Chains A and B, each alone.
Chain A
Amino acid sequence: MAKKQKPESSAGKRTGDVDLPEVERLLAFMEKHGLEEFEYARGDFHVRLRKPFSQPHSFSRAVSAPPDIVVAGAGPVAHAEAGHASAAAAPGARGAASAEAGHSEDVHTVKSPIVGTFYSAATPGSEPFVTVGSKVDAGQTLCIIEAMKLMNEIESDVAGEVARVFVENGQPVEYGEPLFGIRTHRKK
């Protein structure tokens, strides 16, 4: 969405009782040994460190704040970027599962690959390409994004059922903005 999106203040970083010098030391250790990912526990100190882009992880607003360092006894493991880039996701990561809070794991998010204006139908007044509940195949057109007077058809990269439509007809969208949630076929 083209509206102002305030980044969370750095104070929003949950450092808790994190032992920063210790984390620094571990980061240096990772650097030295060329490690991409590293998990470490000692007593109630438990930390997992991962270099940016070492594996595709999805980008979404919910995780767009500065990288979190969370340290807790038996709580969530800490995520800290290894200091050489921002929290931004790897390009092309939009095929990865959405990390947005509140969505079940089998809902795949289709994100806007370009900046432009979202249209749910081919022409004004005609039926939308898809609505909630539509069954879609991979490669099926979901919507149009108009950029620089060009109509770009956005296709689904998975097969499934449309669970959510995040944007409204005529709404401006930015790069990486979630457009659709597609519930992929549940594996039992």
Chain B
Amino acid sequence: MFRKILIANRGEIALRILSACRELGIRTVAVYSEADRNSLHVRFADEAICIGPPRSTESYLNIPQVISAAEIANVDAIHPGYGFLSENANFAEVCEASHITFIGPTPEVIRLMGEKDKAKEAMAAAGLPIIPGSAGAIPDEEAAKKIARDIGYPVMIKAAEGGGGRGMRVVRHARELIPAFRTARSEAEQAFGSPNVYMEKLIERPRHIEFQVLGDKHGNVVHLGERECSLQRRHQKVLEESPSVVMDAATRQNLGKQVVDALAKIGYSSAGTVEFLREASGKLYFIEMNARIQVEHPVTEMVTSVDLVKSQIRVAAGEKLTDVLPAAVEFRGHAIECRINAEDPDTFTPSAGRVTAFRVPGGPGIRVDTACYSDAVIPPYYDSLIAKIIAHGQDRAEAIARMQRGLDGFVVEGVKTTIPLHKKILANPEFVAGKFDTHFLERMAAAETK
């Protein structure tokens, strides 16, 4: 087992990793930017090293500084948390070259998963279903017609180089295809300097469902069930839960097995998440893999009683999954996580500043992961997540009731937070009925402004 770990992160995840290390009897080294001098991960770590100015490119993302800190503190391993350097294959390689264990998958696997097209190809080859579409740019109008016929309408045309809606067209009927193809190409040309577009099957009313996985360095992989993360705003998850109300036992078992087999094939050896889009018909398609611990991991921890971060550290140290996990992982009850961001709950503009009062709820089935405290300053340099509240109940109804009770008792003053947004979501009849998709929050906001 490791003797000493450097935590290359900040905020609640740095504290979460710190807790895991403490329980495992591992010493901790915090690194921090000048903006985080008074933060809790610095306070609670055994050692702390300032690695640079507030801008993350000069501190938390600065590989030479982080590695130097690891060297002077003489650590055995680095835990990257999520974000920052967690999916940086180059960083994982530098760790390896410096004889420091990177707590995550191998650099090769990180690199593969980081290139979305290659990841899809590899996962398709390993047996996972992917969204049908053109392989690369569509050469001409005849090809466009043929591809659309093959994958079936409705389809989506997207700019190969772009994003953000430009060069993007939904086509529902064959007669709309050619005009849409032409406009998409000229938009793409103007916006991104390349007229190349590709085509994909349009997933209507999609739900975002992901599998938590854990692999070891001996070729073993397990999954720990799914999480539903359909409540998103601008592709940022807002609320997550497990299990998903639309996942039946047979699908979970079959798809779970496919996921495990695919990851064993590519040699996945850490905690990770395999993300799917589920179309209204119930079919699921692989979209991407996050090769790291995720923000929403506590949801799975609550229903499985497995400590994912401790498990991740233990497998990184070479332990086998069979020693780390119970013989049969049991799924109990239902868990929901609400991300509390320092943001205006209506406009979502970040709200940095000093927290003047901070009171965290407790009681049965409530867990709060946070690095915030009364009088803390939320710096404007990093992401706006200040706390995660997780509610666990015997069933979804109890989890919702506990979450509502928890949010009512959660006091944050001095900065605006998304607590009011979560209260609205939990009171929404469609949410309570489990009838939602990734556009739910847009619709809820639109309904309010009417």
Q: Do A and B come from one complex?
A: yes
> B: which residues have CB within 8 A of A?
33-39, 42-43, 45-55, 58-59, 64-65, 67-69, 71-73, 98, 352-354, 373-375, 377, 379-381
Q: How far is the CA of A94 from the CA of B284 in the complex (A)?
A: 55
Q: Which 3 A-B pairs have the closest CB atoms?
A: A88-B34, A172-B72, A91-B53
Q: Which of B53, B68, B373 contacts A88 (CB 8 A)?
A: B53
Q: How far is the CA of A6 from the CA of B45 in the complex (A)?
A: 10
Pick the interface stretch among A112-120, A130-138, A179-187: A112-120
Name the residue in B59, B68, B373, B379 with the highest tally of chain A Cβ atoms < 10 Å from its Cβ.
B68
Q: Is the CB of B48 within 8 A of A148?
A: no
Pick the interface stretch among A34-42, A78-86, A99-107, A153-161: A78-86
Q: Is the CB of B50 within 8 A of A86?
A: no
Chain A nearest CB, measured from B3 CB (Å) = 16
Given the interface pairs A7-B37, A85-B54, A115-B49, the reply to whether A174 lies near B375 with Cβ below 8 Å is no
* In the complex, A167 has a CB within 8 A of chain B: no
Q: Is the CB of B377 within 8 A of A85?
A: yes
Which A residues are CB-close (under 8 A) to B45?
4
Q: How far is the CA of A7 from the CA of B30 in the complex (A)?
A: 13
Given the interface pairs A59-B34, A91-B55, the reply to whether A66 lies near B375 with Cβ below 8 Å is yes
The digit string for A1-27, where 1 denotes a CB below 8 A from any CB of B, is 011111110100100000000000000
Q: Is the CB of A114 within 8 A of B47?
A: no
Number of A-B contacts (CB under 8 A): 109
Q: Is the CB of B37 within 8 A of A174?
A: no
Name the residue in B55, B64, B72, B379 with the highest tally of chain A Cβ atoms < 10 Å from its Cβ.
B72
Q: How far is the CA of A88 from the CA of B67 in the complex (A)?
A: 23
Closest to A66 in B: B38
Q: How far is the CA of A8 from the CA of B43 in the complex (A)?
A: 9
Q: Is the CB of A91 within 8 A of B54?
A: yes
Q: Is the CB of A91 within 8 A of B58?
A: yes
Given the interface pairs A84-B380, A85-B352, A91-B58, the reply to whether A2 lies near B73 with Cβ below 8 Å is yes
Given the interface pairs A114-B64, A116-B68, the reply to whether A2 lies near B47 with Cβ below 8 Å is yes
Q: Is the CB of A83 within 8 A of B68?
A: no
Given the interface pairs A2-B47, A83-B353, A117-B72, the reply to whether A88 lies near B65 with Cβ below 8 Å is no
Which B residues are CB-close (under 8 A) to A116?
68, 72
Which A residues are CB-close (under 8 A) to B72?
2, 115-117, 172-173
Q: How far is the CA of A8 from the CA of B51 in the complex (A)?
A: 19
Q: How far is the CA of A183 from the CA of B65 in the complex (A)?
A: 29
Q: Is the CB of A10 within 8 A of B374?
A: yes
Q: Which of A6, A64, A91, A176 contacts B43 (CB 8 A)?
A: A6
Closest to B33 in A: A88
Which A residues are CB-close (under 8 A) to B67?
147-148
Q: How far is the CA of A7 from the CA of B377 in the complex (A)?
A: 13
Chain B nearest CB, measured from A24 CB (Å) = 9
* In the complex, A175 has a CB within 8 A of chain B: yes
* In the complex, A151 has a CB within 8 A of chain B: no
